[in-house]
Chains A and B, each alone.
Chain A
Amino acid sequence: MSETVQMQGLAQVEKGRSLWQDAFARLKKNKLALTGLVVLIVMVVLALLTPWIAPYSYEEQDLSLGATPPSWEHWMGTDIFGRDQLTRVLYGSRISLMVGFIATSVALCIGVAWGTIAGYVGGRLDAAMMRFVDVLYALPFTIFIILLTVVFGRSMLLLFLAIGAVEWLTMARIVRGQVMAIKHQEFIEAAVAMGMSRGRIMLRHVAPNILGPIIIYTTLTIPSVILLESFLSFLGLGIQPPASSWGSLISNGVETMEEYPWLLIFPAVTLSLTLFALNFLGDGLRDALDPRASLD
């Protein structure tokens, strides 16, 4: 056993970060995951460039035009105020993706810190910290978020914090599990024996080794965050007009879907496409970085 560990260590010195090269090679073979990655990059670039590439301005109304089906002038049609739907979907992407990335970062920071400390320190502190996570797990969080929006008003900041505060729990559990598994391996013992400080061990030895699962789970958290925001916006509790996200666009589309189905179809397709892309990418990353865990 110790021999194979040594061999792997030697191979890594020779070839640099071979684990990552390996994983990338595996990812490149996964067509679905690559497609997901491409779709995602296109989405993010479009969202970033929206103010410059959107065909019309966000507020521009043309009441005499009203709702028109897709045409050469308006690729996704117009809504009842004569606003260009493509422009609205593009601006909606900015908000939906931003919520996705920021709230996921919040979850990531809390979850990783919590999980690492609990897993590494262990003992009573670990038991107490994980018990806290268990208790929070049992709470109806979607309902609490609705409650928070009622109590503190509906603001974007609250949305970020509330969603982030929900999603960190699973991250903490995963990270803790990983840290526990790594803690007892020989190279950590060696570092301890050499008198390395706890903080340095965590940073230099533990952190790089739990990066894989963290990346995988982050990729899978983003779609669930986007979904949660869309869910709240659909119910009218998330993003407030005049701003709009995919969820609120879908909600508007549903109101008039019998007369103007394109107002529902385009934001719905955009949302689903993004969710597909992220999920496929996440699955692909899991297969690439952790082949053992790909059973389910």
Chain B
Amino acid sequence: MLRIILQRLLTAIPVLLLVVTVTFVLIRLAPGGPFDEERAVPAQVLENLNKRYHLDDPIHVQFGNYLFHLLQGDFGPSFKYPSRTVTEVIAAGLPVTLELSVYALLVAVLIGITAGIVASLKPNSLQDYVPMSLAMIGICLPSFVLGPLLILGIGIGLEWLPVSGWGVSPGDKILPALTLGAGYAAYLARLSRGGMLETLSQDYIRTARAKGLSEWRVVWHHALRGAMAPVVSFAGPAVAGLLSGSFVVETIYQIPGLGRFYLQAAFNRDYTMILGMTILFAFFIIVCNLLADILAIWLNPKLRRNLEKSR
């Protein structure tokens, strides 16, 4: 088990390096320098700026420097706002985005998996159709449609909850978390229903029932673990989706998180900012995929044995 984890960890490193390299090269390919403004900057100023940010070094030296600083957690200065460093902006936005993502994930897991299990216990009955229809609606209502609708209905129409800000007025975190989590709740509901249906038809479940265990015990202790395999393998991509989903949700609800900073940087062509944040996002996604991978192996002894046998 430990060996598998170590091996996965080792394969993550070249991927991360690839991301850094590709992003760095892409940014350098961009037409126009970072200091191109509507007003032409005097040549002398431009030269000084280039010197200050070491843009006149050969590109491999720049890359080496960037990597070196990156390893120390230093993403360099922002090209657009020289008074702030990328690290500062990330430090300000990351906790907000992480908090939002965790709440959204909670919404998704609690609502989604519960709905999926409930639906799977009586397939093709009302108990199945109602949650699964809701799940279909959840999948077809993207966050940038659901969010405004929630604002219009619950925020402005009923005036139940505040519709902007983060931690400013009580309850202002509820709508953003719901908006971000709803789509994933829908996917998880479908996945866990599928997983449960398959597991419930297995022999060991029949054995458990034959032993006279209560239905609740059969579901909770015996079926759930087996049924969670597709759910866990969805978790990695889901976290990636949560991050990009946070772009929309943070924009709609005016939340000062990473997603909004990233979009601002994209519109401002703030190259170092984009570079830093892309690498950070990639890092998160790779780590989450890794965790999901390991969790899946741990949950499924058959998979584990196969992997250990194959070496």
**Cα separation A148 to B26 with both chains bound (whole Å):** 8
Q: Verify if B140 is at the interface (C-beta below 8 Å from A).
A: yes
Interfacial chain B residues near A271, Cβ < 8 Å = 142, 145
**Which of B70-78, B170-178, B190-198 lies at the interface with chain A?**
B190-198
Interfacial chain B residues near A137, Cβ < 8 Å = 237, 289
B288 CB to closest chain A CB (Å) equals: 10
Residues of B237-260 contacting chain A, CB below 8 A: 237, 240-241, 243-244, 247-248, 251-252
**Cα separation A16 to B201 with both chains bound (whole Å):** 36
B256 CB to closest chain A CB (Å) equals: 17
A279 touches B140 (CB 8 A): yes
Select B26's contact among A135, A142, A151, A237, beta carbons within 8 Å: A151
Q: How many A-B residue pairs have CB under 8 A?
A: 115
Select B29's contact among A151, A235, A253, A254, beta carbons within 8 Å: A151
B144 touches A140 (CB 8 A): no
Per-residue 0/1 for A167-181: is the Cβ within 8 Å of any B Cβ (1 yes, 0 no)?
000000000000000
Interface band, chain B: 35 or more
Per-residue 0/1 for A224-242: is the Cβ within 8 Å of any B Cβ (1 yes, 0 no)?
0001001100111100000
Select B251's contact among A148, A235, A250, A268, beta carbons within 8 Å: A235
Nearest A residue to B265 via CB reads A150
A254 touches B148 (CB 8 A): yes
Q: Verify if A296 is at the interface (C-beta below 8 Å from B).
A: yes
Interfacial chain A residues near B27, Cβ < 8 Å = 147, 151
Decide yes or no: A231 and B248 within 8 Å by CB, A150-B269, A264-B148 being known contacts: yes
**Which of B36-44, B206-214, B279-287 lies at the interface with chain A?**
B279-287
**Cα separation A264 to B282 with both chains bound (whole Å):** 33
Nearest B residue to A278 via CB reads B140
Q: Verify if B139 is at the interface (C-beta below 8 Å from A).
A: yes
Nearest B residue to A150 via CB reads B266
A139 CB to closest chain B CB (Å) equals: 6
Decide yes or no: A247 and B190 within 8 Å by CB, A147-B26, A235-B248, A296-B195 being known contacts: no
Select A279's contact among B18, B136, B230, B248, beta carbons within 8 Å: B136
A140 touches B156 (CB 8 A): no
Select B142's contact among A140, A143, A230, A296, beta carbons within 8 Å: A230
Interfacial chain A residues near B248, Cβ < 8 Å = 231, 234-235
Residues of A133-159 contacting chain B, CB below 8 A: 135, 137-144, 146-153
B156 touches A231 (CB 8 A): no
Interfacial chain B residues near A264, Cβ < 8 Å = 148, 152
Nearest A residue to B27 via CB reads A151
**Cα separation A152 to B263 with both chains bound (whole Å):** 16
Interfacial chain A residues near B152, Cβ < 8 Å = 257-258, 261, 264
**Cα separation A276 to B190 with both chains bound (whole Å):** 15
Q: Verify if B216 is at the interface (C-beta below 8 Å from A).
A: no
A230 touches B144 (CB 8 A): yes
B240 touches A272 (CB 8 A): no
Would you list 12 pairs from A and B whose C-beta atoms are within 8 A, ordered by A residue?
Answer: A139-B19, A140-B278, A144-B278, A149-B266, A151-B30, A152-B31, A223-B140, A250-B144, A250-B145, A257-B148, A264-B148, A296-B197
* Contacts A139-B15, A140-B285, A150-B30 supplied; 7 other A-B pairs, CB < 8 Å: A135-B15, A139-B282, A142-B244, A231-B144, A250-B144, A279-B140, A295-B194
In order of increasing CB-CB distance, the 3 nearest A-B pairs are A296-B194, A142-B244, A275-B140
A residues neighboring B (CB under 8 Å): 135, 137-144, 146-153, 223, 227, 230-231, 234-237, 247, 250-251, 253-254, 257-258, 261, 264, 268, 271-272, 275-276, 279-280, 295-296
